[in-house]
């Protein structure tokens, strides 16, 4: 019975995590350390022109750290994959029961660490402190975390060995980061390469939290801000600009101007979150079918691909 196998496997995965607290403590320490780091680096942003870059950098740093930290789950999944394949061949349980039980058992701790890291940075940096902004931010971070974990599980299920998996994960995340809208204007991508942006977790999550933070913000502009901008120009342009510098508007008067400059305002927040949710489901289902294919491929010749499960007592004995 699927549900009984699911319940027993979920319980086993949960107990396994509680009996091996070293990795959990390491993840907790990482979340606290990185949250304090981003908080102190960008502590107490104001509404000057400098804060535009600080807010943007803080948000992208949070995303980068959170998405790349999903790589830590890859080693654990690969180790347990070998155990699963042995037990599957022995007919202990179904692939579906193991996969979904394992996925759900790991989720609470992943989300707790993600929110701890993200909220530490959020409040220390001093981003918009209204309930709607915080709730939207947390929702985007949660979906981003689950989507990154889904991709890691897919790589772990599909990769032939740990060496290939260790390459595929970081390379794909680095490519997603490049296509996130921070380092590269997405409109400048060549047509034969631009389709990859639709699979970038960074693109949707960055757009969502940037809009959540910058919409409705107004920024001040001092003479020092203008002077710094003029200094960044080349000599000929600077000479021309100085003639009508008193007529120049503020470089970034409001958040909407900054969003338009980065091209991250093409879709509203909820649409970006829905795309993230779709990628989460897409990668999780791909991971399931990759694991099913691998398990069936390793079945001894002559046995059916769908193995009959043994008595439930056999599975219960493995969970104790």
* pLDDT tens sequence across 243-268: 666 666 777 888 999 999 888 988 99
Of how many residues is the chain composed? Answer: 320
* pLDDT tens sequence across 95-131: 888 999 988 888 888 889 889 998 999 999 999 999 9
Q: How many CB atoms lie within 10 A of CB 224?
A: 11
Q: What is the pTM of this model?
A: 0.82
Whether 214 contacts 184, CB under 8 Å: no
pLDDT of residue 312: 44
- Look at 27-36, 89-98, 118-127, 234-243 and tell me which has the smallest mean pLDDT: 234-243
Main-chain dihedrals φ then ψ at residue 218, nearest 5 degrees: -120, 140
CA–CA separation, 43 and 46 (whole Å): 9
**Between 195 and 100, whose confidence is greater?**
100
**Between 137 and 162, whose confidence is greater?**
137
Residue 299 banded pLDDT, cuts 50, 70, 90? low
Q: What Å distances lie between residue 270 and 204, 249, 254, CA to CA?
A: 10, 32, 22
Whether 213 contacts 59, CB under 8 Å: yes
Residue 309 banded pLDDT, cuts 50, 70, 90? very low
Residue 313 banded pLDDT, cuts 50, 70, 90? very low
Residue carrying the six token digits 């949660």? 142
**Between 141 and 109, whose confidence is greater?**
141
Q: Is 177 exposed, middle or buried (0-12, 13-18, 19+ CB in 10 A)?
A: buried
Residue 308 banded pLDDT, cuts 50, 70, 90? very low
């Amino acid at each position: 019975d699927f549900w009984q196998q699911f319940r027993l496997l979920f319980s086993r995965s949960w107990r396994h995590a509680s009996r091996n607290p070293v990795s959990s403590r390491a993840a907790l320490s990482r979340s606290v350390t990185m949250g304090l780091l981003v908080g102190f680096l960008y502590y107490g942003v104001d509404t000057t022109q400098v804060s535009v870059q600080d807010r943007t950098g803080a948000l992208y740093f949070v995303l980068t750290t959170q998405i790349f930290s999903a790589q830590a789950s890859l080693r654990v999944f690969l180790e347990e994959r070998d155990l699963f394949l042995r037990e599957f061949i022995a007919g202990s349980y179904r692939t579906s029961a193991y996969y979904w039980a394992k996925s759900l058992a790991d989720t609470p701790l992943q989300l707790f660490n993600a929110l701890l890291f993200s909220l530490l940075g959020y409040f220390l940096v001093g981003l918009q402190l209204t309930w709607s902004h915080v709730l939207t931010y947390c929702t985007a971070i949660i979906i981003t975390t689950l989507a990154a974990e889904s991709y890691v599980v897919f790589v772990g299920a599909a990769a032939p060995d740990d060496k290939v998996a260790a390459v595929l994960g970081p390379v794909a995340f680095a490519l997603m980061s490049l296509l996130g809208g921070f380092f590269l204007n997405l409109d400048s991508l060549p047509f034969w390469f631009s389709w990859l942006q639709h699979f970038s977790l960074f693109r949707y999550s960055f757009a969502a939290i940037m809009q959540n933070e910058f919409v409705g913000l107004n920024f001040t502009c001092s003479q020092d801000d203008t002077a710094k901008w003029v200094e960044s120009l080349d000599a000929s342009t600077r000479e021309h600009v100085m003639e009508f510098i008193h007529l120049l508007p503020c470089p970034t008067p409001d958040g909407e101007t900054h969003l338009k400059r980065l091209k991250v305002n093409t879709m509203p927040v909820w649409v970006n979150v829905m795309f993230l949710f779709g990628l989460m489901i897409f990668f999780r289902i791909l991971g399931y079918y990759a694991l099913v294919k691998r398990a069936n491929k390793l079945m001894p010749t002559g046995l059916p691909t769908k193995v009959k499960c043994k008595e439930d007592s056999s599975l219960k004995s493995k969970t104790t």
